């Protein structure tokens, strides 16, 4: 999954063109994450992510048939291009979304059924002289590269499951546009919007059969994790106020 705000120059790995390519694994450039306001989380991550971030849904375009799509994200900031979950020392949260941990690698679709392993050529950790080799001398992927591709392919299956869960929530008409209003310590009013949450009223009106269906599919637990996660919005507001107080007017 290529994230345009993060993968600035995604390039498909090629055993001939990139045979000498190496990765310095100790490079940690947090500057490119400073404006990452949110990031995709798969359904299997909700249990961990809900403890650290507000987990909400956002519109994700339409599928080939024109049907509406949504995607769940962990929210990092309360204003555009803001990441309150990192500071000069690194992540302030204990859990980081799995696809972010796989960066600077990602999978990209090369057709209806084919995916290719890509790397972000803009990442400063790639060199030709030092670090982890991506290919053997004969052009075969190293164990490191093969493991990276395997992990990303496994995640891709979870991404597809998450997409289907989003479809089910839309079918049940459970998602609504939501806004969060807060007052900062200096009296300034703040509104956070542009996201979707589960509508408590519609959720409470589901039939017993619908609830049982959601329970057996695992979606009911995800809804509860999402509802718990919304309490983290208050912490983001507090972090925003703290950061604003230390910045020049």
Tell me what pLDDT residue 183 has. Answer: 80
Instruction: Report pTM.
Output: 0.90
Name the residue ranges covered by the structural domains of the chain: 10-246
Tens digit of each residue's pLDDT (9 = 90 or more) over 216-230: 999 999 999 999 999
Strands (E), the chain: 10-12, 22-23, 38-40, 55-62, 68-75, 86-87, 90-91, 105-109, 115-120, 126-127, 132-133, 175-183, 189-198
Residue 249 has pLDDT above 70, yes or no: no
Tens digit of each residue's pLDDT (9 = 90 or more) over 99-146: 999 999 999 887 667 889 999 999 989 999 999 999 999 999 999 999
Average per-residue pLDDT in the chain? 91
Helix (DSSP H) and strand (DSSP E) numbers for the chain: 7, 13
What whole-number percentage of the chain has pLDDT above 70? 98
Residue 246 has pLDDT above 90, yes or no: no
Task: Give the Cα separation of 9 and 224 in Å (integer).
Answer: 37
Question: Are the C-beta atoms of residues 106 and 7 closer than 8 Å to each other?
Answer: yes
Q: What is the mean pLDDT of residues 5-16?
A: 90
Of 121, 101, 128, nearest in space to 13 by CA = 121
């Amino acid at each position: 999954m290529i994230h345009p705000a993060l993968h600035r120059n995604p390039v498909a790995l090629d055993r001939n063109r990139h045979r000498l390519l190496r990765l310095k694994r100790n490079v940690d450039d947090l500057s490119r994450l400073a404006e990452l306001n949110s990031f995709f989380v798969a359904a299997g991550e909700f249990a961990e992510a809900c403890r650290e971030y507000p987990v909400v849904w956002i519109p994700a375009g339409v599928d080939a048939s024109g049907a509406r799509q949504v995607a769940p994200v962990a929210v990092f900031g309360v204003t555009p291009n803001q990441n309150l979950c990192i500071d000069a020392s690194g992540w302030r949260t204990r859990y980081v979304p799995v696809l972010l941990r796989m960066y600077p690698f990602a999978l990209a679709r090369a057709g209806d059924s084919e995916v290719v392993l890509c790397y972000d050529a803009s990442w400063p950790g790639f060199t030709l002289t030092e670090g982890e080799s991506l290919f053997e001398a004969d052009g075969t992927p190293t164990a490191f590269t093969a493991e990276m591709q395997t992990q990303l392919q496994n995640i891709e299956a979870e991404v597809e499951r998450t997409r289907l869960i989003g479809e089910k929530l839309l079918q049940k008409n459970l998602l609504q546009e939501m806004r969060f209003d807060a007052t900062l310590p200096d009296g300034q009013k703040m509104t956070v919007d542009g996201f979707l949450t589960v509508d408590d009223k519609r959720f409470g009106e589901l039939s017993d059969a619908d609830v049982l269906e959601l329970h057996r599919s695992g979606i009911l637990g995800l809804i509860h994790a999402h509802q718990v996660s919304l309490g983290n919005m208050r912490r983001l507001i507090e972090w925003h106020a703290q950061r604003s107080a230390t910045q020049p007017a």
